[in-house]
Amino acid sequence: MPHRFEDAEQWTKVFDEPGRDAWQKPDEVVGLVAAPPGGVVADLGAGTGYFLGRLARAVGPKGKVIGLDVEPDMVRFMTERAKRDGLSSVEARVVAPDDPRLEPASVDRILVVDTWHHIGGRDRYVPLLARALRAGGALVVVDFTMESRRGPPVRHRIAPEQVVAELTAAGLTATIAAESLPDQYVVRGVRATP
């Protein structure tokens, strides 16, 4: 589902609106990410950086958080947000729609919130994410249920079972996580430890 999010100042009114915490449950989501202290976490499709502060606290002062987005204005906004909020462990990067530009075995966790349905060519893209994970690393996908009253049109939504199949095809051990989000599901794919 291609869609542009070019104007960060406009989108922050949606992505960072105060009521989002109630349905997004960001603390629960970050808990499911289970970022290791001192680890490296990539937030793919990070937008205005809604999760960056929470992820930075999770990895601690020795960790690193990488906010990835295809929109240069979102990356500008995240960079300014990190500076304003004193998040010295946060780096924002522009990535290509077909390449997350993460080095092999470079991250412990990848979080993808409300973005999976926007990624085209997932049969080629997901292996790039899996390759970027270190051994034991996890890819956590949060997206809208088919029944949700929020999110994209139903025809653009992806069932959690399909996400499990896509992560499994990329070599990850994938499961639908137990959660209490009212409008979303969480799928977690783990890279095997040798």
Go through the domains of the chain in sequence order and give each one's CATH number.
25-65+75-190 (3.40.50.150)
- Residue 1: predicted pLDDT: 45
The pTM assigned to this predicted structure is 0.91
Does residue 115 surpass a pLDDT of 50? yes
Place of tokens 């989108």: 11
**pLDDT above 90 as % of the chain:** 80
Per-residue model confidence as pLDDT tens digits over 19-75: 787 888 999 999 999 999 999 999 999 998 999 999 999 999 999 999 999 999 889
Q: Are strands 107-113 and 133-144 parallel, antiparallel or unpaired?
A: parallel
Q: Are strands 64-69 and 40-44 parallel, antiparallel or unpaired?
A: parallel
Buried b (16+ CB within 10 A) or exposed e, 71-80: bebbbebbbe
Give bridge partners of residue 186 from the DSSP assignment: 142
Per-residue model confidence as pLDDT tens digits over 139-194: 999 999 999 998 888 999 999 999 999 999 999 999 999 999 999 999 999 999 87
Cβ-Cβ contacts under 8 Å for 36 (sequence gap 6 or more):
59, 63, 108, 109
Does residue 2 surpass a pLDDT of 50? no
Mean pLDDT for 93-109 is 97
pLDDT band at 18 (very low <50, low <70, confident <90, very high): confident
- Residue 83: predicted pLDDT: 95
Q: Which of 105, 108, 92 is nearest to 34 (CA)?
A: 108
Buried b (16+ CB within 10 A) or exposed e, 132-166: bbbeebbbbbbbbbeebeebbeeeebbebeebbeb
